[in-house]
Amino acid sequence: MVEIVFLAPFIIGIIAFFLPKEISRRLLVGIGAIHLLLSLLLWKNRPEAIFKSYFAVTPEGLLSLLVISLLFFLISIYTVAYLKESEIQHENIFTGSMILFLSTMTMVTLSDHIMVMWIAIEATTLASAPLIYTHRSAASLEATWKYVLICSVGIAMALLGSVLITLSMDIGNVDAPLSFSALVIVAKTLDPMWLKAGFVFILVGYGTKMGLAPMHTWLPDAHSEAPSPASALLSGVLLNCAYLGIFKTNKIMHAAGLNDFSGTILIVFGLMSILAAATFILKQNEYKRMLAYSSIENMGIIAVGTGIGGIAAYGAVICMIHHSLIKSSLFLSSGNILLGYGDRFIKNTGDMVTRMPKTFVAFFSGFAGISGFPPFGIFIGELFIIVGAFKTGHYIAAGIFILSLCVIFAGFANQVMKISFDDSDSNKIIGLKEKASMVWPQYMLLLTSLILCFYMPDTLYQTIIDAVTAIGGGFK
Provide the residue count of the chain: 476
Q: How does pLDDT run across 427-446, given as a tens digit for each residue?
A: 555 556 778 888 999 999 99
Examine the pLDDT at 108 and tell me if it is beyond 90: yes
Decide if 349 contacts 417 (C-beta within 8 A). no
Examine the pLDDT at 396 and tell me if it is beyond 90: yes
CA distances 16 to 48, 81, 194, Å, are 30, 18, 44
CA distances 214 to 40, 124, 210, 290, Å, are 37, 21, 11, 17
Residues 6+ apart with CB under 8 A from 276: 213, 214, 216, 293, 296, 300
Got the DSSP string for 62-112?
Answer: HHHHHHHHHHHHHHHHHHHHHHHHS--S-HHHHHHHHHHHHHHHHHHHHB-
Got the DSSP string for 148-161?
Answer: HHHHHHHHHHHHHH
Q: What is the largest CA-CA distance in the chain?
A: 73
Q: How is residue 47 annotated by DSSP? A: P
Report the distance separating Cα 468 and Cα 337, nearest Å.
38
Any idea which of 60-74, 310-324, 343-357 has the lowest mean pLDDT?
343-357
Cα 43 versus chain centre, distance: 20
pLDDT band at 285, cuts 50/70/90? confident
Report the distance separating Cα 390 and Cα 396, nearest Å.
9
Q: Which residues pair with 179 in a beta bridge?
A: 113
* Res 10: pLDDT: 93
Minimal CA–CA distance to 69: which of 125, 114, 108? Answer: 108
Q: How does pLDDT run across 292-319, given as a tens digit for each residue?
A: 999 999 999 999 999 998 899 999 999 9
Q: How does pLDDT run across 138-159, given as a tens digit for each residue?
A: 888 999 999 999 999 999 999 9
Helix, strand, coil percentages in the chain from 3-state DSSP, rounded to 5: 80, 0, 20
* Res 476: pLDDT: 46
State which amino acid sits at residue 436. A
Quick one: residue 111, left, alpha or beta (phi over 0 = left, psi -120 to 50 = alpha)?
A: beta
pLDDT band at 175, cuts 50/70/90? confident
Any idea which of 102-111, 236-245, 345-354, 383-392 has the lowest mean pLDDT?
345-354
- What is the average pLDDT value for the chain, to the nearest integer? 89
pLDDT band at 137, cuts 50/70/90? confident
CA distances 456 to 96, 318, 320, Å, are 34, 11, 15
Mean pLDDT across the stretch 116-126?
Answer: 94
Q: How is residue 214 annotated by DSSP? A: T
